[in-house]
Amino acid sequence: MIINTTELEAINSFSRVGYLKEVYGIIWILVPILTLVLGITLGVLVIVWLEREISAGIQQRIGPEYTGPWGLLQALADGTKLLLKENLRPSRGDTRLFSIGPSIAVISILLSYSVIPFSYRFILSDLSIGVFLWISVSSLAPVGLLMAGYGSNNKYSFLGGLRAAAQSISYEIPLTLCVLSISLLSNSSSTVDIVEAQAKYGFWGWNLWRQPIGFIIFLISSLAECERLPFDLPEAEEELVAGYQTEYSGIKFGLFYVASYLNLLISSLFVTVLYLGGWNFSIPYIFVPELFDINKRSQVFGILIGIFITLAKTYLFLFSSIVTRWTLPRLRMDQLLNLGWKFLLPISLGNLLLTTSFQLFSL
């Protein structure tokens, strides 16, 4: 049997090309994911620095200034400190629930970033059910908090977990009804379609003006979902020491710390996407509508401009939420539940009925 060396070399080169294509395919799948993770990490570091500086300004004191220029590396120093600390476990607690709780809280929030359109054609996964995927996935985070509270074998922790579950249920329904109103108004549940529907009419096409009641309800509900003051009852220091975080230390405590800021960032991004026009910089276009297509002239430049606009709107909302935290007092538990069930739920339901009627009559 005669072996043709030319054919053998061709087969080997073809197999190498196929192998390289598979490797490049895997790399190009990982590149956007790693880019998103890096961007989210930097975003959380910026939020922590902003909160420290803004709170210092409100309280008339000096914020962090030694770790890096203007204290920019303070959050990184805090994270390194938590990484080096020992992970303690409660002796009579449920070890599995105690360990899984922080991971569920972080992963459920991280998955929500996959449907955020940071710019024109710059999204990890443009799903037709994008906004409802966020609601369904983020609703798993309180399950992790409840598991953490129960697995700690501590009354303070367990009460904090129960409060987190009750608060999430109370404010998840008004939040969902507001999102459903936006979906009806835009005739789509895709986050990209919702942004593009607002871009048709410029600045006055933002859902902020078309859904002012829904915007206020969404704002209050998102703050409650993030468990920020005045809605931080699950971790009220004066009542529950640290709530469901009482028994945690080291990296597991750091995961809860990161999860709270991740949740705040994703809520701010959805406020931008659903109500503030997303990546569209529509304010100068009130009188110059021909400039709407600036993002489509140069793809790279348009993506960068869109990311900058999205983050600028997002951090504007973050600034207001940080100021709210250091301005308003904490609500009582009965006030919290009454606000959710007796006030926000009926108004959000009425807003949904009005939106549905408007859409039916406009057909």
Q: What is the token pair recorded at 186? A: 């835009």
> How far is C-alpha 328 from the chain's CA centre?
23
Per-residue pLDDT, 317: 87
pLDDT band at 176 (very low <50, low <70, confident <90, very high): very high
Residue 162 lies in a domain: yes
How far does the chain reach from its first CA to its final CA, in angstroms?
77
- What's phi and psi for 278, nearest 5 deg? 60, -130
Can you say how many angstroms the Cα of residue 174 is from the centroid of all Cα atoms in its chain?
17
Does residue 160 carry a pLDDT above 80? Answer: yes
323-363 pLDDT, tens digit per residue, is 888 888 888 888 888 998 999 999 999 999 999 988 888 76
- 217 pLDDT exceeds 90? yes
User: Could you tell me which residue, 301 or 115, shows the higher pLDDT?
Assistant: 115
Within this chain, do residues 153 and 204 fall inside the same structural domain, yes or no? yes
Instruction: For residues 112 and 245, state if they share a domain.
Output: yes
Percent of the chain with pLDDT over 70: 85
| 139 assigned to some structural domain | yes
Residues 180, 44 within the same domain? no
Instruction: Provide, rounded to the nearest whole percent, the portion of the chain with pLDDT above 90.
Output: 12
Q: Does residue 193 share a domain with residue 73?
A: no
Residue 89 covered by a domain: no
Asked if the model's pLDDT at residue 65 lies above 90, the reply is: no
Distance CA 166, CA 347 (A): 20
Which of 166, 173, 163 lies closest to 233 in space, CA to CA?
A: 163
| pTM of the complete model | 0.84
pLDDT in tens, 228-281: 778 887 776 666 667 788 888 888 888 888 888 888 899 999 999 999 888 887
* Listed residues 84, 114, 146: the one ending a domain: 84
Residues 127, 183 within the same domain: yes
pLDDT band at 321 (very low <50, low <70, confident <90, very high): confident
- The strand pairing partners of 119, in sequence order, are 122
Mean pLDDT of 27-45: 76
Residue numbers of the domain that contains 30: 1-84
Instruction: State the pLDDT confidence band at 151, using cuts at 50, 70 and 90.
Output: confident
Query: 168 — phi, psi (to 5°)?
Result: -65, -45
- pLDDT averaged over every residue in the chain: 81
Last residue of one domain, picked from the residues 32, 56, 84: 84
Beta bridge partners of 122: 119
Closest CA to 113 of 194, 189, 32: 32
- Domain assignment present for residue 90? The answer is no
Residues 233 and 112 in one domain: yes
**76 and 102 inside one domain:** no
3-state SS track over the chain: CCCCHHHHHHHHHHHHHHHHHHHHHHHHHHHHHHHHHHHHHHHHHHHHHHHHHHHHHHCCCCCCCCCCHHHCCHHHHHHHHHHHCCCCCCCCCCHHHHHHHHHHHHHHHHHHHHHCCCECCECCCCCCCHHHHHHHHHCCHHHHHHHHHHHCCCHHHHHHHHHHHHHHHHHHHHHHHHHHHHHHHHCCCCHHHHHHHHHCCHHHHCHHHHCHHHHHHHHHHHHHHCCCCCCCHHHCHHHHCCHHHCCCCHHHHHHHHHHHHHHHHHHHHHHHHHHCCCCCCCHHHHCCHHHHHHHHHCHHHHHHHHHHHHHHHHHHHHHHHHHHHCCCCCCCHHHHHHHHHHHHHHHHHHHHHHHHHHHHHCC
- State whether 222 and 298 are in the same domain: yes
* Number of residues that make up the chain: 363
Tell whether 114 and 247 lie within a shared domain: yes
Q: In this structure, are 71 and 215 located in the same domain?
A: no
Same domain, 116 and 205: yes
Domain for residue 165, yes or no?
Answer: yes
- Is residue 188 in some structural domain? yes
Query: Could you give phi then psi for residue 260, rounded to 5 degrees?
Result: -65, -40
Domain count, the chain: 2
- Please report the pLDDT score of residue 240 as a whole number: 67
For residues 152 and 174, give the distance between their C-alpha atoms in angstroms, rounded to a whole number: 31
The reply to whether 16 and 112 lie within a common domain is no
Residue 156 above 80 pLDDT?
yes
Structure tokens at 127: 């799903």
Asked if 145 contacts 195 with a C-beta cutoff of 8 angstroms, the reply is: no
Name the band, by pLDDT with cuts 50, 70 and 90, for residue 175. very high
How many C-beta neighbours within 10 Å does residue 183 have? 20
Choosing from 28, 54, 84, the residue where a domain stops is: 84
